[in-house]
Structures are given as structure tokens and as C-alpha cells.
Amino acid sequence: MKFGAHIAVTGMALAVASAGVLFPIYGKVGGLQEEVASLEAEQATGGAIEAQFMQLEAEKRDLEERIAGRQFRLLPDNQEAHHNFETRLLQLVGDSGLNSVRTGRGKDAVGGLYRHLDWELVVEGAAGDLDRFLISLERIEWVTRVQSLQVEPGDEMRRITMKIAVMLETKGNA
């Protein structure tokens, strides 16, 4: 065999061998490009979800900071603290413009996880006075709940009966 023919046969053999290797690689590269495009689309979706998650995480931290900043606490379960709460309650009534008609302490009760003291308050005043009282009651340092509120019909000055509960500290909930 002549040298030129030998080179031609070797060249053909190399071309056939490389075609067997290159065609599958080309097919795999095309499939990989599709996978890359699919992963890029998923990453874009994941980025949007991550942005939403980061926003929710920031909102959660903000809420936790606001809750930690509140001064609410449970009322100690002793006579001095009970008296202090009653005094503060009557001060709120006066400061809001309501006139106290009657106040009375109910029995200690259990509601939810905590024991609480019930107070019945009968006052007279206008709607604005009642609104000021309820806003100031929300800002009181002890955890309170208005259990009932009855407003009798009338002109400007109305009689209002409220039942208010203040949550008490119990052993283990200090």
C-alpha cells in the first residue's frame, strides 16, 4: 500500500471513529442546553420565592420587635396588686370623662390558660368618653379583656355597664 493510500485509510478510520464519539456528545450537549434553560427558569422562579420569603422574614422580625417592646404583663395575684388595678381603672374612668356610678369586683375565675379577676363597672357618659376609656384600657400595662359592654338608650349621657377581666399571674407563669 502506498503511503498516500495509507494516510487516506487512516484518515477515514479516524473520521469514522470520531463520528461515533462526536455525534452522541453533540446530542448530549443539546440535551444539556435544554436542562440548563429549564434550571434557569426554575432559578428565576426560586428567586421570586426567595424574595417573598425574605420579605416575610423581615415582617416577622418587625412583628417580634414590636411585641417585645410592649409592656403588657400579667397582674400579680395579691391584694395590693388587685387594689392597684382597681385604683388605676377608676383613674382611667375619670380621665376619660366618664362618671363612675358603681364598681364591683367579681369572683376569681379561670378562662383560657390564666386565672383572672372580673370587675363590673357602671359609668355614665357620652360616646366619645367611652371611646377614650376603651383606648386607655387597651394601653394599660396589664393584660385585660372587656367581656361585655351594655349601653342603655338615651340622649348624650348614657349609662354603660362593662365587665372587665384582668389576667392574673399564676405560679409558673411569672
One domain, residues 106 and 45: no
Residue 174 is assigned to a structural domain of this protein: no
Last residue of a domain, one of 52, 70, 88: 70
Q: pLDDT confidence of 173, banded at 50, 70, 90?
A: very low
**What's the pLDDT tens digit per position in 4-30?**
666 766 766 666 555 555 545 555 666
The number of distinct structural domains making up the chain is: 2
pLDDT of residue 169: 80
Q: Judging by DSSP bridges, how do beta strands 144-151 and 114-125 pair with one another?
A: unpaired
Last residue of a domain, one of 28, 44, 70: 70
Last residue of a domain, one of 70, 90, 117: 70
pLDDT of residue 174: 42
Residue 33 predicted with pLDDT over 60:
yes
> What are the CA-CA distances from residue 77 to residues 74, 88, 111, 167 (Å)?
9, 16, 15, 9
What is the extent of the structural domain holding 29?
1-70
Contact status, residue 100 vs residue 123, Cβ threshold 8 Å: yes
Residue 172 is assigned to a structural domain of this protein: no
Beta bridge partners of 149: 162
**What's the pLDDT tens digit per position in 87-120?**
999 999 999 999 888 888 776 655 555 688 888 9
Residue 160 is assigned to a structural domain of this protein: yes
CA distance 37 to 137: 60
Asked which of 39-43, 121-125, 156-160 is least confident by mean pLDDT, the reply is 39-43
| Average pLDDT value over all residues in the chain | 78
Burial of 43 (0-12, 13-18, 19+ CB in 10 A): exposed
One domain, residues 147 and 83: yes
